[in-house]
Amino acid sequence: MPSKGKKAPAPAENAAENYYRLNKKAVEDLVSANEENSPPVSEEELKKYRSRSPLRLADWLKALLIKFWFNGAVCFFFLWGLGMYLPSTLDLLFVTGIAMGIVTDLLVNNIFRFYAKTPGANDRWMMFPKRRFVTFFLNILYAFAVLFLVYTLYNLINAVIISFTGQTDSIPLGVGPILFGLFYLGFDMLLIGMKRLFGRILSDARKNLH
């Protein structure tokens, strides 16, 4: 004789309830996830989910190519593109310096952060690796400094060529995206290297004091 009490839940109802609980727990775990409570993942496991390009480049070469390409692009669109509209060299360099600083802060550095295998892995390619509000303006000031060095190098090379050829009616070496990109990249990496070297010297000095 069937019992008059509460009916036992059907298997379908149990399955639906369990499914709801599992999904609710998964969402709660995802929302509350952080570096402290997340389980460690091996490098081999991470490699399975990274996109694999048929052309594999070393990290240092990839970083240099990214910097070089954007340097040349700024030269093409601003030094070349605005040359006929801004006849003053000082005005042209001022606009180009602002553009280079903005491109570095908003595009180049963010690309480095995006494809870094681990957080901070590409900091060595940036003058100001920490993303803060003030770094936007610091990158613009830094671009002015590098641009001044590039401009000085062009003048020095042209002065040497003119001293040998004696031709003063034209500029021997004009500004082009490829050579400008290489010059800017060279001074950029030189200054970043000096900063890292100075940082290591300071760090070693502090350790010796303690």
Give the lowest-confidence range in 45-54, 58-67, 72-81: 45-54
pLDDT digits (tens, 9 = 90+) for 83-109: 888 889 999 999 999 999 999 999 999
pLDDT at 73 over 80: yes
Burial label, 6 (beta-carbon count in 10 A; 0-12, 13-18, 19+) = exposed
Please tell me which residue, 208 or 44, carries the higher pLDDT value: 208
The single-letter DSSP state of residue 35 is T
| pLDDT at residue number 208 | 81
Burial label, 161 (beta-carbon count in 10 A; 0-12, 13-18, 19+) = middle
pLDDT at 24 over 70: no
pLDDT digits (tens, 9 = 90+) for 142-152: 999 999 999 99
**Averaging pLDDT over each range in 7-11, 21-25, 151-155, which range is the top one?**
151-155
Torsion sign over Cα 85, 91, 96, 99: negative
Sole residue written with tokens 């369990």: 18
Instruction: Return d(Cα 141, Cα 152) in angstroms, integer.
Output: 17
Instruction: Return d(Cα 102, Cα 108) in angstroms, integer.
Output: 9
3-state secondary structure of 92: helix
Alpha carbons within 13 angstroms on the beta-carbon side of residue 6 total 3
pLDDT digits (tens, 9 = 90+) for 113-152: 998 988 889 999 999 998 889 999 999 999 999 999 999 9
pLDDT at 206 over 70: yes
